[in-house]
A and B are shown apart, each in its own frame.
Chain A
Amino acid sequence: MNATTQLTAADFKSDVKPIWCPGCGDYAVLSAVTKALADLGKPREDIAFVSGIGCSSRIPAYTNVYGFHGVHGRALAIAAGVKLARPDLTVLAAGGDGDGLSIGGNHFMHACRRNVDMTYIVMDNQVYGMTKGQASPTTAPDWCNSKLTPEGTGISPVEPARLALASGANFIARGFAGNLNDVARLIVEGINHPGFSFIHILSPCVTYRPEQREWKNAVHPSADASPAQLVAEAMHRLAADDGYTTGVLFAGNRPPFMPERKEKATFADIEKKFVS
């Protein structure tokens, strides 16, 4: 008796009210995630949604699947543990640019190369919102609106898609929160693609980065007919990219990492080695 095929996006939303500011791009991402999960057609209990700390990391509580809201920067490690322990679950991780690329940067690199079959959504607003507006690793060097770095950071930002590609991610896509249906489609594609899928979503912070309202005019689909399937080709495209190209940027075919688990011996066999 599987009634899950009839589940709608609304069935994947919880009754917890988000803490987000009015106008935050993350509302649209939440809607895109729940739409994607409804489209996927899996039972809610077979999905695990893991996050770290930050505004966007609050997202699991607003859904109706199993969730883990962990510590800052470690969402990918928890998510990998969930998937490695339970390959039958569909595993998603989500968070912001600070959580995923600053404090969690090392895990991002290794999650890309480890290629565990899971999907990672980064809601990038180029700012730390929860601590009230500091520069993040994706902030431009000359952004001066933080008291912490009044002269700007002076250091060049990370380009998440390039970093993902260089680190070995198997699927890379970029979306804009304003285009909800496109983002939902990218998430479904990411989940269905074997291995580690990275979905970079430009999700405006209207409170600390009101200028990001203009992103809707900056984003554009790729001029290329189809996603790059070779790393070299994807690198070439990303090197020339303006950071606003949306759609699937890379779809590789590296097999996912998953240790086989099978019982082959008894404790008694194992203990024999200690007999002196």
Chain B
Amino acid sequence: MAAYSVSVALTGSGGAGAMTAGQILLDAASKAGYYGLMTRSMGPQIRGGEAAALLRISTKPISSLDDYYDVLVAFDWGNISRFAAELPLSKSSIVICDPEQGEVPEPIAQYGAQAAALPMKEIAGSVPGGRANMVGLGAAATLIGLPIEAVIQVLTAQLGRKGEEVLAASTAALRAGAEAAKALPAAAQLPATKHDGAERWNISGNEAAGLGALKGGIKFVAAYPITPATEVLEWLAPALDKTGGALVQAEDELASINMVIGGSFAGLPSLTATSGPGLALMTESLGLAVASETPLVLVDVMRGGPSTGIPTKSEQSDLNIAVYGLHGDAPHVVVAPTSIVDCLFTTQWAVYLAEALQTPALVLSDQAMGQSRNIVPKPAAVPYTAKRLVAEGTLEAYKRYALTESGVSPMAIPGTPGGQYVADGLEHNERGTPSSQASDHQSQMDKRFDKLTNFDYGNHWADIEGEGEIAILTWGAITGPVQEAIERAAEQGIKAKLISLRLILPASPEKMAEALKGVKKVLIVEQTHGQQFAKFLRAHYDLPQMAVVNRPGPLPIRPAEIVNRLLAWK
């Protein structure tokens, strides 16, 4: 356990209010000056399934869960065996449970944590209108040393509009829980902190991706609902409405991607968001966007696969389809956010890249980032917005696919006189006329490859931190645990360098070679069963001696596992 943080899990059957309690706790921690992270674990049921709010509260910014939870508050034990593995506890952890719900079940008891009974339902029953989740929340906050006043402050802001009665009942239940907690065994305490006064945000990865899209200049979105990407769309729908854009719910993913192609062809920066099954349906038309050089952004919030897989839980296993899924030689851009808040930057950058390069850009987020909330310092504004090279004025003898130095050719937008051309998935000549000639295929293929490889991606291709003879190569949501592992390893005398790839495609072999100078060993960390990332790296980069830490979802990779692997190398 890190000295600067405390981890709390709140669990219960759907309707027990674990998620609500978790969100209030996260907000309250922020009010009290702490940083925080809340991921969620949900069953597949729409109502009544198991739900866990998994929090870590910290005195400094964090983007990783800890190795175990210090406090587990179980409102009930419904379906606990399904997700007990996602609730690691230590012997010094405290399990708060309602004696009314029976003994601590074996999947939890086996961790050997200390159990403490708290009759949450009974206490809630003594407060008119009181609910057990508020009792549990009050107890959890008090146990870890979070001032109850901060919780009440958040509750007041959230419940104020529901009327005084509701607020009074919740506040009373909260205080009753806080009072009862005094009789419970001591738990890990939050170190004291003070808000530095600088603005902080409470944001989820899916919201951040939506905001990044908006700031990048997206004006048109067509999409089909799918877990865990739907929140990107639910956030964007009203936001686009307020900023002069539009979102359309399509009949399926085939329509979504093609509507987006149409919107972009017509001149608007356009985006869709989906998850694995939707991405699979969209791949044919992604090829169309590559061939017709139509810019678009596709946000894929990855979940467990293949097929329907585990819709509510995270995995990094869409890497292969994102990189290799298109038929034919189809160069395109694939980027990946390196944290929850980086979903903002990376999506905004993806809009810029797609528009500048006139190609589809895929953003590989995942459930662990998309549906988790993070308290973070206000993200800095960046200048990346859609700047498409367009053909303007009255055009003559216009060639849509003219061979240029950069490979990018000026695009005529409908309405431009003389710019009429036919965008085509058929191979074509410079004018856009279908052609099956070898020379046209070669030159247009070169153009589509060269425009991506000639482009200057700056230093955004990877997040690189630290120095050492060991480098840890990783990506996406696993970046947080790796950062923390590197910090901890340093305390044990192991120096390691972080290289978290943001630009997956096109590969950056020269920059990687530079970053790997002096590195003798490489540890690759990823959340797939098939070592997709390691295989991708081996195909595109020269790497020294390497080892891989990998596991499929849904269990997150925790810092201790990575530290242990580094120690084994010592």
Contacts and interface: CB of A to CB of B under 8 A. Distances in A.
Interface of A: 16, 43-48, 50, 60-61, 64-71, 73-74, 76-86, 88-89, 106-107, 109-110, 259, 261-267, 269-271, 274-276
28 contacts: A43-B417, A45-B419, A46-B414, A46-B415, A50-B262, A66-B419, A66-B421, A69-B434, A71-B258, A77-B222, A77-B255, A80-B259, A81-B260, A82-B263, A83-B262, A85-B266, A86-B266, A106-B251, A107-B255, A259-B246, A264-B242, A267-B215, A270-B239, A275-B199, A275-B201, A275-B202, A275-B378, A276-B31
A48 B266 contact: yes
Majority DSSP secondary structure for residues of B touching A: mixed
Contacts of A61: 422, 424, 433-434
B246 A80 contact: no
B58 to A, nearest CB: 14
A259 B418 contact: no
Contacts of B264: 81, 85
B383 to A, nearest CB: 13
Contacts of B259: 77-78, 80-81, 84
B570 to A, nearest CB: 40
Interface stretch (B132-140, B225-233, B284-292, B469-477): B284-292
Interface in B170-216: 199-203, 207, 211, 214-215
A5 B15 CA distance: 66
B211 A85 contact: no
B425 A276 contact: no
Given A68-B292, A84-B259, A270 B211 contact: yes
Interface in B420-444: 420-426, 433-434
Interface residues of B, number: 66
A276 B251 CA distance: 37
A64 B242 contact: no
Interface of B: 27, 30-31, 199-203, 207, 211, 214-215, 219-220, 222, 239, 241-248, 250-252, 254-268, 270, 284-285, 287-288, 292, 375, 378, 412, 414-426, 433-434
A69 B418 contact: no
Nearest to B199: A275
Looking at A68, A69, A81, A262, which has the most chain B CB atoms within 10 Å of its CB?
Answer: A81
Contacts of B284: 71
B414 A74 contact: no
A131 B254 CA distance: 23
Query: Considering the complex of A and B, which 5 residue pairs feature the smallest CB-CB distances, nearest first?
Result: A81-B262, A77-B258, A67-B422, A81-B259, A85-B263
Given A71-B285, A267-B243, A274-B203, A77 B414 contact: no
B242 A66 contact: no
